[in-house]
Structure formats: C-alpha cells, structure tokens
Amino acid sequence: MKRRIQLLPDHVANQIAAGEVVQRPASVVKELIENAVDANAQHINLLVKDAGKTLVQVIDDGDGMTDTDARLSLERHATSKISKAEDLFKIHTKGFRGEALASIAAIAHLEMKSKTDDSDIGVQINVEGSEVSQQIPTVTPTGTSIAVKNLFFNIPARRNFLKSDSVELKHIIDEFQRVALAHPDISFKMIHNGNELFNLPQSNLRQRIVGIMGSKSNEKLVPVNEDTDLIKIRGFIGKPEFAKRSRGEQFFFVNNRFIKNNYLNHAITMAYEGLLKDKTHPSYFLYLEIDSERIDINIHPTKTEIKFDDQHAIYSILQSAIKHSLGQFNIAPSLDFEKDSSFETSYRQHKNPVKLPEIEVDRDFNPFKEEKQNPRPQASFQQSSFQHEKKAVPSNWEDLYNVESAIADDQQQTNLFEDKQVEQSSKSFQLNNKYIVTPFKSGVLMMNQHRAHFRILYEELLKNITEQPAASQQLLFPLELSLNVHSIEIFKELKESLENTGFSFTKMTNQSVVINGIPDMIQESQVDQIIDELFSEFENEIPETGFESNTILAKSLAKNMAIKNGISLKEDEQQQLINSLFYCKDYLQTPDDKQIFINLSVDDIDKKFA
C-alpha cells in the first residue's frame, strides 16, 4: 500500500514557516532589528531600498557571533534565548523565534557578516533559498550585518501580493518606530533609497518621542508616572486639545515590547471622557513594567498581543494614572514670562480711591456732513464655494429691459429645474439650522445642508484635480505644518493633487511643510484640521491607482470643507445651495452614499392627516 504521510524537505518546510514569519518587508525589518537589540547593540543602522523589496540591511555593533554560531543561526529552531519550555513564560528578550533567520533565508538572498569582540577576523555567509552558497573569513567591524536582498525571489506569487512602495515603506517605518521608541538608550538610523529618514541619537524617552514625532510634539506631552506592587506605568500622554482623527500616535509597551490591546486602550479613552472632540483619539506613549510570569506573550504569532493574569486591576490602575496626570495638567498653575505686568494691579493699591473714567465728546461732529455708504454685510460663511458669480449691473440702464435676454435666461433656468421638480422662485427656510425646506411642484423637499455642500464640493474638487487646477489664494504669512516622517511620505504622494485643488507649497523637510497658498474656498484657520483629516484617511494605505487616490483625496477635502450642520444660512444662501446641488451630476447621494434630501408629496402629507 502506498504511503500517504511523508516528511517535507527542509527547504519546503522553511518556505512554509516563512509564510507565517515573513509577510512583507516590514516583517524582515522587525526580526533583524529585534535581534540587534538582543545582541546588546548601542548603534543600529537600517538601510532599505525600494521599500524593502530590493534590500533590507541591518548593521549593529552588538556582541557578534563566531563562525559556528553564525552558521547555526540559519538553521530551523536554533536560538540563543531559550533552552527549555519553562523559558517561554519568563521571556525578557524580543526575537526568540528559532525559525526567523532560516525562514528569511528560504525566500531571499541573505548575506551575513559577523565578528565577536575577542576575534581578529569575522565570518561571511551567503545563502540563496536555504542553500548556503559561501562561507568565508572576512574583515568586518565587531557586531553583525545582515543584508536581505530580492525578497520572495523564488515565490513570485507572494511578491505579486506586495503593495506599492509607499504602503510597504509605511509598514517598515511603523516597525522601526516601535523598536526605537522602546529603546531610547540605543542610537538608531534609517536610510531609504539614499535618503536619511531618521537619525536618532541615544537620549531619554521624551527626546526620543520628539525625534520621531517631530519637534512640535514636545508641547503636547503630559508625563505619566505610577508605581504599584502589580505594575509600574511611565511615559507620556497627549493633551486633549491635540487629539487627532487617526490612531497613529498610540503606543503601548509591556516590558519594552510593543503590544496592541483594545481593553487597555478603552481604559485610556474612558480617562479622557468629556475632554475630547467627537471622533478624535488621544496620543499616548505608555510603558508598562510587570513581572514576566504574570503575562503570556505567546498567544499571537507576531507577539503583539499579550494576555494578563489580572487585566481588570491593570485597567483600573491605568485609568486612574491617566486621570491623575490630566488633573495635574489642568490644575497646575503656569508662569507666563511674556505677560505684561502693566495690566496687573498692585496689592498696595487696593485702598486707593477709584478714579472715574472721563467722557470726551466731539462737539464738532456732524453726522449729516458726510454720507458714507454702509458696508454690505458679510455672508455667514465665506467658504461657500457654491456661490456663483453674480451678473454685474450693466452700465446702460436700458439693458435691464432687454426682453430677449431675460426670456432666454428664464427659459434656461426653467428647463433646468423642470427635471428636478424644484421651483426656483420658491421660498425656503431652515429647520434646526440643519435642514433646508422648500416647496416643489407636488410637495415639499427637505435637504441636509452639510451633505448637499459635501456633494457640491466633491465634484468641484475632483474636476480641479483631474481636469482644470483651481485658483489659489496666497497667504500673507506662510503657514508651517509640523509632520512626522510617515505623514511626509503620504504628502509626497498627494502633493501634485493637492496643488491642483489650490494648495501651494514652498518648502518641505523631513519634519515640516510650508504652505503659502490655499484654496479660495477655505480659511487659513481650517488648514490644520483639513490636513489632519486628510492624512487620517490615508493612514493605513495609499491606493495604488491614481484615480482611486484622487477620489479619496477629493472626498476627504470636501467633507471637511463643507458647511457644517448647525450653521445659520440666509435665504439667498439657501437658494444658492439648492441651485448648485441640482447642477451636480449626482445630486441624490453624497460621495459616501448617504441620502441628501427627501421628497414629501402632497399625497404623503394627506395620509398623515387621514
């Protein structure tokens, strides 16, 4: 009888293990950097080409390996960090999975150079698809250098599933930041395609956060310190007024290992209750120290999820610590060294008599001497892009009685609104500063003003991005936005499309962007919020196709620039909103498929009174 069960060859087993260990270039970065940290390195350099598809190289000055150790590290189930099963529940290191290097070597070209401090010469090992092609002595500094080239070269199907360079680079930056934040005492450097993205010297925790998140983040941080018998908590949280739409600046570390835990995240959210704007999330960089026997980090292959033996107590301690820090921040007095002392009243003067103010009258003033025209009142919102240009009054008053042109204009408007069943001359009014109500031929139309303006702006912005760039209003004083490295990478992808919508940029660095022009439909005070909302839309992934990217960009900008519910509109503004909506190609739904208006026919109304 033919055997059905057979042992897999080593190279096949390594490729199967690689499917669990190496999902994308960021997985290689995580494994190599964590190994460098465990090797007691003080300086770690990460070199990346083509978002890791061509090269991922990690160079460290750690302990290094001998010839034998270097060769054994490439075998399956080989590790220096555990020796018995009980060690799995007392882990203090990071990269302890024995199949990591073997799995990486099975799907890439790997070159390893390593030397210990007490050796005069090191070793170089080249591996191609699990096969060692070369092992020779070499001259190399103390430490280890591992270069992973041509990832997934022998598994084209896996390589085809990789995303665009911008998306893969985003994941690499995420992994790099997590390890760098966990170890501020280690120097880190990251270079992508010859450009230095990070250069983080050895520092304290606050300086490391500022070095990664940008110089402006220093003013946003509030320290947290709490020591109990169960757990120690330290780190920083963000001030409530700097909360963002995205969750990109939320970091939990347990025993210097990055984790994700929705339960603990809920504790922080509850501590901020009543302090955050709607749909915003606080920033935090929190480090938890707990006895390794009280946690289990083997419940997830990537080791990013941890099980606590008493998570309810940790929840309460964490929530209390955050509330305490927020209370200290809100109550603690601050010294303002720029305050003008002339506005202060001295305590010695509290018994002095009160000096009454003198009233001066201009007796020569004559209100009828010079007649000034009253300025026209401003619209309640200046950003209303749906206000079309009004026709100029002709210099010849007789042109006002040009019957033929008047009839043509009326006929054009009538034809337009006949299909929509809306009477242009109808009166309208607002309901709760949210809905615009106006009669139509056989009933009443009720429109959501925010959704209507959302649709109008979306089609206008999409046209500007794809067809005709919009005009830009220049700022008297350029506006500088502080961004982190990941946001800068997103900005590079969207820069051209943003310029087509009316933005104008003069300078860009690794931490900031200078804006000297904005679309004429927004105000300068809105720029920060609009850009923040935009980056949150692209936080997880930038679409590979330009059309999809432009659609998301137009949708994000339009939604944040659209007039909000609760804003009072004048009747002419209401009419302009109605008219502009029915000029749109799709006036029934918003870009995110929500209904803009409803029709109540006379029959529907009669049924309510039946």
- Asked, for residue 100, whether it belongs to a domain, the answer is yes
Residue (of 35, 144, 146, 31) closest to 81 by Cα position: 35
> Do 459 and 585 belong together in one domain?
yes
Q: Is residue 488 part of a domain?
A: yes
How confident is the model at residue 389, as a pLDDT? 40
Residue 602 CA neighbour count, 13 Å, CB half:
4
- Whether 258 and 279 map to the same domain: the answer is yes
Q: What is the pLDDT of residue 273?
A: 87
> Which pLDDT value is given to residue 98?
54
Please check whether residues 165 and 184 belong to one and the same domain.
yes
- Answer yes or no: do 112 and 226 share one domain: no
Which pTM does this prediction carry? 0.72
Same domain assignment for residues 59 and 190? yes
For residue 55, tell me if it sits in a domain.
Answer: yes
What is the predicted pLDDT for the residue at 546? 61
CATH of the domain at 297: 3.30.230.10
Q: Which two tokens stand for residue 130?
A: 């699990």
Instruction: List pLDDT tens digits, range 375-419.
Output: 443 334 444 444 444 444 444 444 444 444 433 444 443 333 444
Residue 417 included in any domain: yes
Please tell me whether residues 180 and 265 are part of one structural domain. Answer: no
Q: What percent of the chain has pLDDT over 70?
A: 78
Handedness of CA 190, 195, 200, 201 (dihedral sign): positive
Given pLDDT bands bounded at 50, 70 and 90, which one contains residue 314?
very high
Single out the residue in 147, 175, 202 at which a domain terminates: 202
- On whether both 235 and 116 belong to a single domain, the answer is no
Please, how many CA atoms are within 13 Å of residue 447, restricted to the half-sphere of its CB?
30
Whether 115 maps to a domain, the answer reads yes
- Mean pLDDT on 325-347: 57
Residues 240, 283 within the same domain: yes
Position 410 scores a pLDDT of 41
Interval 169-174 mean pLDDT: 91
The answer to whether position 367 is within a domain reads: no
Among 183, 202, 221, where does a domain finish?
A: 202
Name the residue range of residue 464's domain.
407-610
> Residue 199's beta-bridge partner residues?
189
Pick 545 or 514 by higher pLDDT. 514
Q: How confident is the model at residue 352 (pLDDT cuts 50, 70, 90)?
A: low
pLDDT category of residue 1 using cuts at 50, 70 and 90: low
550: helix, coil or strand? helix
- Please report the pLDDT score of residue 351 as a whole number: 58
Do 106 and 236 have their domain in common?
A: no
Identify the CATH number of the domain in which residue 463 sits. Answer: 3.30.1540.20
Are residues 148 and 284 both part of a single domain?
no
Domain boundary among 155, 184, 202: 202
Summarize pLDDT for 470-491 with one digit per residue, the tens. 888 888 888 888 888 878 888 8
| Residue 273, C-beta contacts closer than 8 angstroms, at least 6 positions apart | none
Q: Tell me whether residue 30 is in a domain.
A: yes
State whether 475 and 584 are in the same domain: yes
Count of structural domains, the chain: 3
- Each residue's pLDDT tens digit, 55-71: 999 999 999 999 988 88
Residue 196's contacts (CB-CB under 8 Å, 6 or more residues apart) are 189, 190, 510
Asked whether the predicted pLDDT for residue 111 surpasses 70, the reply is yes
User: Residue 547 above 80 pLDDT?
Assistant: no
Please report whether residue 466 resides in a domain. yes
Do both 196 and 214 map to the same domain? no
Summarize the confidence of residues 532-545 as an average pLDDT.
70
pLDDT in tens, 452-468: 999 999 998 888 888 87
Mean pLDDT of the chain: 80
